[in-house]
Structure 1
Amino acid sequence: MTTSSRFSEFTQETFALTRRLFIQLQRRPSTLIAGIIQPVMWLVLFGALFQNVPQGLFGSSQNYGQFLAAGVIVFTAFGGALNAGLPVMFDREFGFLNRLLVAPLTSRLSIVLASALFIATMSLVQTAAIVAMSSVLGAGLPGAAGLALVTAIVLLLVLGVTALSLGLAFALPGHIELIAVIFVTNLPLLFASTALAPLSFMPTWLQVVASLNPLSYAIEPIRHIYTHAHWSLGDVVMQTPFADITMATALLVLFGFSAIVFFSIRPLLRRSIA
């Protein structure tokens, strides 16, 4: 079999497996609907709760809704990506994954790639809805270059967290354990980031923790894009206790996070789908 034909079959397999996930979503659209309604409620309720704070209290943001928009975008994408392993876990428990593993697939990597493509698409739909709603609520709308970079940041984070979730789906014994990890992880990472408040509001120990949280390195560049019409990769977006972080540095941290996760779970995935 030639390389081109193998690639063609791999693409076809990935498309078929991705289509299966979208068919499941079409039959049960409540997942996507809830994934859009929840962050919109965060924007509306939290934005209203802090609408009377003095201007300038949250950095250069014009209002708390503008400050919050970046955090809601990132945390929504993170939450969706963290759930990426659940469909694979259910496939394991119901025996469908075993059927896939004995099927004559060109590459079983298509099983993992299909999940990543599905979650990435879901995250982009949710991000578009949040950006549109936050614009209506007064947060403003970044330019075309800014929106493109926001998309790239979301995808970079989603790929890393999706890989981590898929690794957990193969490493943990069942969906109860995976759901427990998701519940235990979600809120601590939210509050130990700059999603709801700037670093300057936090005690020193929490500043250190938030500065080590990958979510902060996705939130701050997006927030900087929202609050600065003219931005560059050399702009400082976060002042941590140990260094000033530029936008380029934040992107490198996100890329490094995704790369470390991918290479860490690669042996596990090979053993699990071999």
Structure 2
Amino acid sequence: MSVTPKSDLNWQPATSPQVSIDTNNNFFGDLVQETLALTRRLFIQLQRRPSSLVAGIIQPVMWLVLFGALFQNAPKGMFGDTTNYGQFLSAGVIVFTAFAGALNAGLPVMFDREFGFLNRLLVAPLASRFSIVFASAIFIISQSLLQAAVIVVAAAFLGAGLPDAAGLSAIALIVFLLALGVTAISLGLAFALPGHIELIAVIFVVNLPLLFASTALAPLSFMPKWLQIIATLNPLSYAIEPIRYLYLHNNWGLGSVVMQAPWGSVTFGGAILILLGFAFVALLSIQPQLRRTLA
């Protein structure tokens, strides 16, 4: 009779590092594939119904034309160093268009909830249900960057000028950070609110007040003190002022002062950091809701 050594009784198969690496690679590969497939679905929907994209481009261009003409005869220097109000307004229109588009990011998810498609995705064998959120974010941010590019071109034709290549890259970064933060908030609301009526109500309530409580249409010096304080708490102002500075100055840097807030000077780099913090806080704040819904 053979006796099994005691050491053999406690033997367990060793986990191969290669197996672990392959598992991780498969997970990330599946996650990327799922995200791309869901993103493609959203772009197909947009291709079939392009009216939302077209309206999202036509409306801000009309703002540039009509508001620019409205204040065309304003005294020079009334709006700072700008040569015309259209140049001053361009930054506000770029930012507000990105903001409005990102604020609507939760509507497709909400409609998927109401039509039952989201439930089908939740019971599907996905590598990660967070691919649903990633796809929506990629779609909305891509759309915001496209709209911003069209507005920059339209503003150039209307006499606002055109920043250099580095300036255009900075505009893209600013739009990306703002759209990322607002998209996160909108997606969080889409999973938290009971229906699309409530989400649309929130959008209507938030949209215009944040526009008028920012520096999109007028500089801080035009505002009463209480509104100046609100405008400097508004993340839109920290996206508008750096872009406006790019339109007015050929030489710029991270240390360039872009806004004189009631509490002190705001530099270009400081505004970028505030937008980065806004996006980080927005992403962090929706994590509990996403985990309850998607986990």
Please indicate the TM-score interval, normalised by the length of the shorter structure: over 0.9
Q: What CA distance in whole angstroms lies between the structure 2 residues aligned with 1:2 and 1:237?
A: 48
More moved, 12-21 vs 47-56: 47-56
User: Structure 1 residue 218 and structure 2 residue 239: aligned?
Assistant: yes
Q: What CA distance in whole angstroms lies between the structure 2 residues aligned with 1:129 and 1:222?
A: 15
- Deviation, 1:46, is 0.2
Quick check: which has more Rg, 1 or 2? 2
Q: Which residue of 1 aligns with 2:88?
A: 67
Q: Which residue of 1 aligns with 2:249?
A: 228
Q: Which residue of 2 aligns with 1:117?
A: 138
Letter in 1 for 2:259: M
Letter in 1 for 2:129: R
User: Structure 1 residue 54 and structure 2 residue 75: aligned?
Assistant: yes
User: Structure 1 residue 208 and structure 2 residue 218: aligned?
Assistant: no
Q: What CA distance in whole angstroms lies between the structure 1 residues aligned with 2:65 and 2:242?
A: 22
The superposition leaves residues 121-171 of structure 1 with CA deviations (integer Å, 9 ceiling, x where unpaired) of: 111110011000000000000000000000000000000000000000011
- Partner of residue 84 from structure 1, selected from 101, 105, 108: 105
Q: Which residue of 2 aligns with 1:25?
A: 46
SS of the aligned residue for 1:10 comes to helix
User: Structure 1 residue 163 and structure 2 residue 189: aligned?
Assistant: no
Q: What does residue range 1-274 of structure 1 map to in structure 2 within 5 Å?
A: 2-274=23-295
Q: What CA distance in whole angstroms lies between the structure 1 residues aligned with 2:191 and 2:68?
A: 39
The superposition leaves residues 52-80 of structure 1 with CA deviations (integer Å, 9 ceiling, x where unpaired) of: 11111111111100000000000000000
Q: What CA distance in whole angstroms lies between the structure 2 residues aligned with 1:89 and 1:61?
A: 42
SS of the aligned residue for 2:259 comes to strand
Percent of aligned pairs with the same residue? 72
| RMSD value, Cα | 0.6
- Deviation, 1:189, is 0.2
- Deviation, 1:45, is 0.2
Q: What CA distance in whole angstroms lies between the structure 1 residues aligned with 2:280 and 2:148?
A: 23
Q: What CA distance in whole angstroms lies between the structure 2 residues aligned with 1:48 and 1:88?
A: 39
Q: What CA distance in whole angstroms lies between the structure 1 residues aligned with 2:87 and 2:199?
A: 33
SS of the aligned residue for 1:245 comes to strand
Letter in 2 for 1:212: L
Q: What CA distance in whole angstroms lies between the structure 1 residues aligned with 2:158 and 2:214?
A: 23
The superposition leaves residues 171-224 of structure 1 with CA deviations (integer Å, 9 ceiling, x where unpaired) of: 111000000000000000000000000000000000000000000000000000
Letter in 2 for 1:36: I
Gaps of 5+ in 1: none
Which fold has the larger relative contact order, with Cα–Cα distance below 8 Å and residues 6 or more apart in sequence? Answer: 1
SS of the aligned residue for 2:286 comes to helix
